[in-house]
Structures are given as structure tokens and as C-alpha cells.
Amino acid sequence: MAQIMIKNLRKDFGTFNAVKSSTFTVEDGEFFMLLGPSGCGKTTTLRMMAGLELPTSGEIYIDGEEVGMKPASQRDIAFVFQMFALYPHMNVGKNISYPLISQGMPRAQVKKKVGEVAEILGITDILNRPVGGLSGGDRQRVALGRAIVRDPKAFFMDEPLGALDAEFRERMSEELRALHDRMGATTVYVTHDQLEAMQMGDKIVVMNHGVVEQFGRPQQIYDWPSTMFVASFLGSPSMNFLNFDGILGNNQSSVEMQGVEFDIPASLEGAGGKLAFGVRPEHVHFADSSAYKGEVLATEYLGTTQIVTVATPNGNLKARTSASHAIRVGERLGLEFDPRTITIFNTETGKALL
Ligand code: ATP
């Protein structure tokens, strides 16, 4: 197990700056997600952490030791790639034991270790089967077995479930998380899927254009995004932004839009100019008594809930509400916003004021 600290990590490919001065810490035993859109630099960050890519500058500490310039083989870590490559001419047991045998571990010890790993993964009964005829799930378990068997300090995974269909992907992600909870090994996992990151991660780093936008617990960054990018990358549908011009004082506990006062959490840093009122779809409520009105543009039925698109004087928004609530396109409705997680942004800097 290991704590991994990243300090001012940077990577240039020629003149292109792929990762810009990143700083964050993965605590011992955490399941840690590197999340962001394609090309944001998450794979490059992971590869530097694992020793597969050299940093241009900055430091990487594993358990306090600076390893930035050390190759992967000297970091005592296991890297699990997206394509789980197995040795096709070996059976399951041989595939798992291969890393131990190549390290020169005595046979009896190898057998014991492989038995333990097979038990953890629930594949004891297929140890003698050739890997050729295995189901996709069993192939993944064997590949994981090969990574686990060495007892590495940390696991690094780059979109390991990326190639799977949705149903199987969900099952494997549950298995991976359960496996982590049993073993407690530090795991750093790259994904572009915000739902996967929130479901599986203890902590998430959100990256964009090579920059760490925010890092924290899933609920913390979902409820309190520090930038408009994070607010819109997490959540589906994403956070609404209602645009307004205003001057806000420090610790102001409400804001005014169209002459209507809306409560906000009162820890605001004062600011003026072009602002956005950020509200999650599940925190928009319909109330006849509200003087703040909008017109329903569309409804999208999702089973137990529906997504209602409403035109307001400050821009369109989406509300998530019960599907049993009868709402017609063209209807004018009063809107209220649950103040608990309202976030105000400066639209010029993209940063939250809270
Ligand atoms: P994806 O999910 O698409 O892999 P990512 O967030 O993991 O995206 P990276 O693979 O880290 O992104 O790439 C970040 C940027 O660096 C991209 O613009 C990519 O084209 C560039 N890049 C990555 N590796 C190299 C390389 N070896 N040489 C030049 N540019 C590279």
C-alpha cells in the first residue's frame, strides 16, 4: 500500500504542453479517479505516476520517496491496461503465476499465492482451463489476478472497462470496487465517464486542457464545483447556469434576478459583473406562488423522473421532477430553487465565488 504525492507535475511533448503543473495527493488505500474529457492529459498523468513516461518537471513521491525519474520496474506498482492481454498458449493458473515465476519465486510459494488470488477473484475452478475459451468477465479476472499476485504497492488502471458494453461494464466496475474494498490497495484509475468516477471513486481529480480543475470527494465536487467546467462535466443533465449581471457583497445570503430574491448559501466572496446562478436540475422546483416564471419548451420522460426544459428570462434550464407530475409544453410555471447547493460563478473567469 502507498501514498502517492504529485507536486507541480508537468509534461511537454515538443512545444505542446499536455499536463500543466498538477498537484494532488492519493492517500494510502484510496480508489482515486483521474477524470476528464478526451485529450485533457489524464493518461499522460497516470503514465508519469506509473513510470511509463518521464515528467518534464515536477515531482512524484511514493511513500515519501521521490520516484519521478525511476522506471516503472523500480516502483513496485502494477499497471492494468484497457486491453487485457493474456498469454494465449498458457492456462489460467500459468497466466497468473507468470510474474512470480519470472521473479524466481519458489514453486510451492507460487502455488499458494496463485491459490489465494484465485480465491479472491472467484476463479479457483477455472485455474486449469485454457484462456482461449474464457468469457470476457473471466478474462478480465485473470488479467487482474496477474496484476494482484505480485502484491504491488499500487494499481494503475487506464480505462480498464472502456471496451465493454454498458451492462457488463457496470458489473465489472462493481467487482473492481468490491475487490478494492477487500484488498485496500491504493488504486489510480483513469476514466472519461463521470458516472463511473462518482460511483467508484473515493476521490476524484477533474482535469481539463492539462489543468487540475478540482480534486476532492465525489459528493464534495458534485455539490461544490469550483469551476463552471467541473459543474458542467459532472451530472446528467449537467448544472444549469442562469446568467445575470450583479454586484454581490461578501457573505450576501441572497441574489436578485428579474426582481425576485433567491436564497444562496451565505459564504459568498463578493464580486460584480457577469455572473451565473448555478443550480442542479434536481434542485429546481415548480411552485405557482413563485413570481419567477418560465415557459416549458420540452419534456423528456425517463421512467420515474422526467427532464423538463424551461425558458427563463436568464436562459434555458433543465429541471428533474417526478414523472407523475403532469407538465405540458407551452405552460408557464413558477420556479423555485433549493438554496442548499446554489453556486454563483463569475462567467469571465469561470470560477465559483463560493
Ligand atoms: P484520452 O482519453 O483521449 O486518452 P487523455 O486525457 O488521456 O485523453 P492524454 O492521452 O494524456 O489525454 O493526452 C493529452 C494530450 O497530449 C493530447 O492532446 C495528446 O494528443 C497529447 N499526447 C499524448 N501523448 C503524446 C505523445 N507521445 N506525443 C505527442 N503528443 C502526445
User: Does residue 270 carry a pLDDT above 90?
Assistant: no
Domain boundary pick from 168, 201, 229: 229
192 and 62 fall within a common domain: yes
Q: Is the dihedral of CA 66, 72, 73, 76 positive or negative?
A: positive
Domain boundary pick from 194, 229, 264: 229
224 and 260 fall within a common domain: no
- Ligand 1 centroid–CA 38 distance in Å is 8
- Which range is least confidently modeled, 137-141, 260-264, 296-300? 137-141
Number of the ligand 1 atom closest to the C-alpha atom of 19: 14
194 and 250 fall within a common domain: no
196 and 324 fall within a common domain: no
Whether residue 39 has its Cβ less than 6 Å from ligand 1? yes
pLDDT tens sequence across 175-206: 888 888 888 889 999 999 999 999 999 999 99
Backbone angles phi, psi at 168, to 5 degrees: -70, -35
3-state secondary structure of 16: strand
139 and 210 fall within a common domain: yes
The cell for 41 is 492529459
* Proportion of the chain above pLDDT 90, given as a percent: 69
Best probe residue, ligand 1, of 12, 42, 44, 56 (max atoms within 8 Å of C-beta): 44
Per-residue confidence (pLDDT) for residue 84, from 0 to 100: 64
Within 8 A by CB and 6+ apart from 206, the residues are 35, 36, 212, 213, 214, 215, 221, 229, 230, 233, 234
Q: Whose CA is nearest to atom 5 of ligand 1?
A: 39
Share the mean pLDDT of the chain: 91
Number of the ligand 1 atom closest to the C-alpha atom of 44: 11
Within 8 A by CB and 6+ apart from 26, the residues are 3, 4, 5, 6, 32, 154, 186, 188, 203
Question: Based on the structure, what is the number of domains in the chain?
Answer: 2
* Proportion of the chain above pLDDT 70, given as a percent: 97
Residue 283: which domain range? 231-352
Which range, 31-35, 103-107, 183-187, 243-247, is most confident?
31-35
282 and 201 fall within a common domain: no
The cell for 88 is 494465449
Across 249-274, average pLDDT = 83
Residue for cell digits 457577469? 274
Number of the ligand 1 atom closest to the C-alpha atom of 36: 6
Residue type, 298: A
112 and 217 fall within a common domain: yes
User: Does residue 2 carry a pLDDT above 80?
Assistant: yes
51 and 171 fall within a common domain: yes
> Residues 50, 54, 58, 63: what is their CA dihedral angle, to the nearest 10 degrees?
30
Q: What CATH number is attached to the domain comprising 192?
A: 3.40.50.300
Domain boundary pick from 205, 229, 253: 229
185 and 217 fall within a common domain: yes
190 and 101 fall within a common domain: yes
Backbone angles phi, psi at 243, to 5 degrees: -85, 135
Residue type, 283: H
Q: What CATH number is attached to the domain comprising 321?
A: 2.40.50.140
* Residue 151 binned pLDDT confidence (cut-offs 50, 70, 90): confident
Per-residue confidence (pLDDT) for residue 223, from 0 to 100: 93
Q: Whose CA is nearest to atom 9 of ligand 1?
A: 41
User: Does residue 168 carry a pLDDT above 90?
Assistant: no
- Ligand 1 centroid–CA 43 distance in Å is 7
The cell for 280 is 442542479
Whether residue 37 has its Cβ less than 6 Å from ligand 1? no
34 and 167 fall within a common domain: yes
Give the CA diameter of the chain.
78
25 and 106 fall within a common domain: yes
User: Does residue 325 carry a pLDDT above 80?
Assistant: yes
